[in-house]
Structure 1
Amino acid sequence: MSSDKTHAAIATTSPGHFTTIQVPTPATPDPGQVLIKVEYASMIILDTYINDLGHRVQPQDYPVILGFNGAGTIMQVGEGIDDLKVGDRVTAVMFGKSERKAMQEYVVQPRSVVAKIPSSLPLSAALSAAATIPDNFITAFSALFSPSYLGFPYPSFIPSPPPPSDPSTTSPSPPLTTPILIYGAGTTTGQYAIQLLHATGYTSIFATSSPKHHPYLLSLGASHVFDYRSPTLAADILLQVTPKGSERRLKYVLDCVTAEATLERIAQVVDEEGGSKVALLLPIKKGDNVRVEKGKEELMSELPEERNPFPKGTKHLGVRGILFAEDPYLRANLLPKILPHLLDHGIIQPNKVRLLDESFGTLEERVGKGLELLRNNLVSGEKVVVKIQ
């Protein structure tokens, strides 16, 4: 239900253009929803695809508000919600329709996409840090533990574990010494993947990144780090898989970049006989990184067989983090219960923040700076966060 009031939002109005618009401010949330005053919103590379390329936007969709993650304060609580109250600090993944996106002053969200920020997260900068979490945490958690992707057993430390699976339909749990490769571990998703695997007890977590990220990734729980640009990358990785054993190939890989060149490199270290699982964060890009140049873009949601570099029998699994909402267990637990628990107990920590506040000009100018940083690959190991209020 909307009031007569409006508030500011930043929206793309056509490919390559964005501006400030005024949108209706909701008066009250519906049952099962909350009204959030957004104070910080983070930006991801998908924002540049949407603004610059019109990715997955139809002409009739414009204007489309930007932003997939936000953090702020609960202003109103709809009927049926008893675990959130007015004044609570929260973070949320904000996807779907334009009116649910993050780059605006107020937004209504369903309870399932909202996580309460625990008091243990320091008050100073808590909201800006919390705005870095939802989409990448969801993607990492789903890629690792969802049966649709790599399918590792759900960690024992999470609250409200899912009901036991039918043993006849599930794969045996891999030993905690199983080598697991996180390609592009310096990305924000890669950082959460390392933390989750380390907390679960896995001890052979391989991470590729720029060398400047190596000390931090080791502190998060990586056991081995590799320079992704090394000409001997494949040999370096395989040397560490099981140096004294007979199994010299990787069975599990998470590609947090998913470009043609990364697939080629990963293909050199997976099982030559097939049977490996490779989780690919969609979309698949041309070239060697997440940057996409206008006029040269090609974003694929599936890997065509003629461009598949993996050995026959390799399972390549396209990961869409937002599909967590289609899983009844994850929808009810991942953000409402699991994420607050992990933050409260220090099991994961937010990403580092590249904050764009008033010193970068108006809200519109801040968003423009964020798009520039992302499209030109000028930020690494950090999340671009825009101060809204």
Structure 2
Amino acid sequence: MSTHTAIATTELGKIDAIQVPTEAPGEGEVLLKVEYSSMIAFDTYLADLGYTISNYPGILGFNASGTVARLGADVNDLAVGDRVTAFSFLSSRSKGMQEYSVQPRVVCSKIPDSLSLEEAVTIPDNLITAFYTLFNQLGLPVPACFPAATTPSDASIPILIYGAGSTAGQYSIQLLHAAGYKKILATASPKHHAFLRSLGATDTFDYNSPGLTSDIAKAVGGSGKVPLSVDCISTDTTLDTLAKVISPTGKVAFLLPFKKGNTLTAKHVDEMKMEPPKDNGPFAKTTKLIGVRTFRFLEDTFLKENLMTKIVPSLLENGVIKPNRVLLLDQGTFKERVEQGLDLLRNNKVSGEKIVVKVRDDDGRELP
């Protein structure tokens, strides 16, 4: 069996370039020749904390883009050579930080010629997170098409995206705008405000402003309380802030895990929690708190059959979704590029961009 290069955590706190078997795709799978993989905070949890690692080595990379190298049985809507992006969140054989990756068809999206592979790899994890959060976890109705042909009955309901400068926040705003919602509130650093408004945010707020809660209340009007919110940061500090602006009968969706302090990157496993606070913490007892586990989106039959295979390609083909801005790492060896990305994430040196790693060195191996 031929092999290829992958970047994996080989023991707690260590990553390395390793050789792994290049597997053939099974039924309902494709073999992806990976060109780019993007990095998220979760990669640091695997590498630094051993989080979710049951056996070493554990390959990194929760997103991949490239071309279809081989098709498994019963994959009839893709062809060898098609350009795709994949949500590579399953086992090591399906992770993105390797030269070849086996992906279930249901996590792959064909991309239009107008989109580069570097841009495409910023899309899967956080666009899926945003879609799943809004239209499954918060229960907003899924439009028949994007942009929505009809205005939703609750189009004027205020919806707050906290941490909207994040990649997931950017996609949440775009989806809400395309679905026809007219009151999209966004908190972020001021440097992101103009960009977020260009994506569809109607009101932007500096989350460090001492007048944040009163500013949000003024924008909401009426009771001054927000009925729906997505917390893209999910830390101790965001809990306390959101509790001041959310309606007692509202819903808040938190992108898990919760982290201690006020940063996206946890330093210890015990700093992360996968459930909302018991007894609702600082929120009213009647407020519904939802912990979002994006990796479960395939448990929803509609999303499994349609989201990556049909909806995402349509959003991209029609230009409804703009990809995240790219921070491309293409210098040095494959391992050095990944190490640089991990360092950027650990030290919170990235804001409003997605770290994209060029996977193949110039001598990247081809299939025999």
Bin the TM-score by the shorter chain.
over 0.9
Q: Is the counterpart of residue 214 in structure 1 residue 190 in structure 2? A: no
Report the counterpart of residue 166 of structure 1 in structure 2.
none
Q: Select 2:32's aligned residue among 26, 32, 36.
A: 36
Q: Distance in 2 between matches of 1:20 and 1:241?
A: 51
Report the counterpart of residue 123 of structure 2 in structure 1.
133
Report the counterpart of residue 376 of structure 1 in structure 2.
347
Q: Select 1:98's aligned residue among 88, 92, 98.
A: 92
Q: Is the counterpart of residue 65 in structure 1 residue 59 in structure 2? A: yes
Q: Following TM superposition, where does structure 1 have runs of at least 4 consecutive aligned residues deviating by more than 3 angstroms?
A: none
Task: Report matched runs for 1:16-165 at 5 Å.
Answer: 16-26=13-23, 28-58=24-54, 61-121=55-115, 126-146=116-136, 149-158=137-146
Report the counterpart of residue 247 of structure 1 in structure 2.
223
Give CA deviations for 1:97-150 in whole Å, capped at 9, x if unaligned: 1111110000111110000012233xxxx001100000000000000001xx11
CA apart distance, 1:303? 2.4
Q: Distance in 2 between matches of 1:374 and 1:213?
A: 19
CA contact (8 A) 1:138 1:322 kept: no
Report the counterpart of residue 311 of structure 2 in structure 1.
338
CA apart distance, 1:293? 2.6
Return 279-288 or 77-86, whichever deviates more.
Answer: 77-86
Give CA deviations for 1:218-270 in whole Å, capped at 9, x if unaligned: 0000000000111111111011102xxx3321100000000010011000001
Rate the CA distance shift 1:158–1:200 in 2: closer, same or farther, 3 A: closer
Q: Distance in 2 between matches of 1:81 and 1:120?
A: 24
Report the counterpart of residue 161 of structure 2 in structure 1.
182
User: One-letter code of the match for 1:289?
Assistant: T
Q: Distance in 2 between matches of 1:174 and 1:44?
A: 35
* Structure 1 counterpart SS, 2:226: coil
RMSD: 1.5
Q: Distance in 1 between matches of 2:296 and 2:70?
A: 27
User: One-letter code of the match for 2:80?
Assistant: V
Give CA deviations for 1:325-384 in whole Å, capped at 9, x if unaligned: 111110010000000000010111110000000x2x100000000000001000000000
CA apart distance, 1:291? 2.1
Q: Distance in 2 between matches of 1:335 and 1:379?
A: 27
Q: Distance in 2 between matches of 1:306 and 1:21?
A: 46
Q: Distance in 2 between matches of 1:80 and 1:291?
A: 40
CA apart distance, 1:158? 4.8
* Structure 2 counterpart SS, 1:119: coil
Q: Select 1:8's aligned residue among 5, 9, 20.
A: 5
* Structure 2 counterpart SS, 1:239: helix
Structure 2's unaligned 5+ residue stretches are: 361-368
Q: Distance in 2 between matches of 1:194 and 1:134?
A: 16
Report the counterpart of residue 281 of structure 1 in structure 2.
255
Q: Distance in 2 between matches of 1:297 and 1:236?
A: 35
Count of residue correspondences: 357
CA apart distance, 1:306? 5.9
TM-score, length of structure 2 as denominator length: 0.94
Give CA deviations for 1:153-186 in whole Å, capped at 9, x if unaligned: 1023159xxxxxxxxxxxxx76201110000000
CA contact (8 A) 2:236 2:259 kept: yes
CA contact (8 A) 1:277 1:317 kept: yes
Give CA deviations for 1:303-332 in whole Å, capped at 9, x if unaligned: 232671111110000001121111111001
Q: Select 1:348's aligned residue among 317, 321, 325.
A: 321
User: One-letter code of the match for 1:368?
Assistant: E
Q: Distance in 2 between matches of 1:261 and 1:196?
A: 26
Q: What percentage of residue pairs aligned between the two structures are identical?
A: 54
